[in-house]
C-alpha cells in the first residue's frame, strides 16, 4: 500500500550556516544558468566592432529545431592551468576607435591602451593592416589563437618591422580582457549574495541539512 511520508522543509534563511553552504553549492552546480556568459559575449561583440574586429560566427542547433548564429568564442575556467578564452575573426582598421572605445568603456584603461596601440601601428602603415585570427589546438586561451597579419598595400609595400608583433599582442591583450570579464561575471553571479537572492526569488526549499527538497 502507498505510504504518506511527511518531511519538514526549510527556506534558506531558516537553515544553519553549514546547511546554507550546501544549498548554495546545489544552486551553483545544478540550477545555475548555463548561458550566464551571453551578456559578456554581447558586450565583447560591441567592443570588437569598435576596435575593428569582426567575429566569425558558427551555426548552433536550437531545441525546437533550426539553428542560430553564435560568435566563435570559447573559454574554460576558472581555476586550472591552461584556462582562458579565445576567439576567431578578422581585424582591420576602424576609424575613431580610440575615441569610441572611451565612450563605450570610459573606465577600462586596458581597452583604451589596446585601441591606442592599434591606431598607432595602423597609422605607421597607412591604415592598411589586417589580420586573421583562428583557434588552434585543444586549449582555450590567448596563445591558442593563430594570428596572421598582412598589409594590403596597392604598391606591395611591406609592413613596418614592428607591425606584426604589435597587432598580435594587441589582439591577445583583447582576448585577456574577455577572459577577465568572464571571470568577474562568474564570480559575481556565484557570490553568496547573488546566489541567496536567486534561491529566495525562486522559492526553493531544502531539508534541514541543506539538500534540495523534491
**Domain regions of the chain by residue span:** 1-32+196-214, 36-189
- Residues sharing a CB contact under 8 Å with residue 167, sequence separation 6 or more, in sequence order: 91, 118, 121, 129, 131, 147, 149
Q: What share of the chain is helix, strand, coil (3-state, %, to 5)?
A: 45, 20, 35
Question: Which has more confidence, 64 or 168?
Answer: 168
- What average pLDDT is seen over the chain? 94
Q: Is residue 64 predicted with pLDDT exceeding 80?
A: no
Average pLDDT over residues 53-63: 87
State residue 214's pLDDT score. 63
Spatial separation of the C-alpha atoms in residues 194 and 202, rounded to whole Å: 12
**What is the rounded distance in angstroms from the CA atom of residue 159 to the CA atom of residue 150?**
7
Residue 160: name the closest of 198, 204, 203, 122 by CA. 122
Q: pTM higher than 0.75, yes or no?
A: yes
Give the separation between CA 148 and CA 58, rounded to whole angstroms. Answer: 21
Amino acid at each position: 500500500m502507498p505510504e504518506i511520508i511527511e518531511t519538514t522543509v526549510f527556506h534558506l534563511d531558516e537553515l544553519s550556516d553549514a546547511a546554507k553552504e550546501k544549498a548554495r553549492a546545489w544552486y551553483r552546480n545544478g540550477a545555475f544558468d548555463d548561458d550566464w556568459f551571453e551578456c559578456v559575449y554581447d558586450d565583447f561583440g560591441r567592443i570588437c566592432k569598435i576596435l575593428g574586429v569582426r567575429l566569425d560566427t558558427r551555426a548552433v542547433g536550437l531545441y525546437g529545431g533550426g539553428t542560430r548564429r553564435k560568435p566563435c568564442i570559447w573559454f574554460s575556467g576558472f581555476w586550472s592551468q591552461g584556462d582562458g578564452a579565445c576567439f576567431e575573426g578578422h581585424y582591420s582598421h576602424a576609424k575613431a576607435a580610440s575615441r569610441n572605445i572611451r565612450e563605450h568603456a570610459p573606465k577600462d584603461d586596458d581597452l583604451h591602451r589596446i585601441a591606442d596601440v592599434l591606431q598607432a601601428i595602423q597609422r605607421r602603415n597607412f591604415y592598411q593592416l589586417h589580420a586573421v585570427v583562428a583557434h588552434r589546438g585543444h586549449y582555450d586561451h590567448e596563445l591558442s589563437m593563430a594570428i596572421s597579419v598582412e598589409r594590403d598595400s596597392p604598391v606591395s609595400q611591406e609592413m613596418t618591422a614592428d607591425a606584426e608583433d604589435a597587432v598580435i599582442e594587441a589582439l591577445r591583450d583583447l582576448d585577456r580582457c574577455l577572459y577577465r570579464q568572464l571571470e568577474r561575471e562568474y564570480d559575481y553571479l556565484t557570490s553568496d549574495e547573488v546566489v541567496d537572492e536567486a534561491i529566495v526569488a525562486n522559492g526553493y526549499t531544502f531539508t534541514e541539512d541543506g539538500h534540495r527538497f523534491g
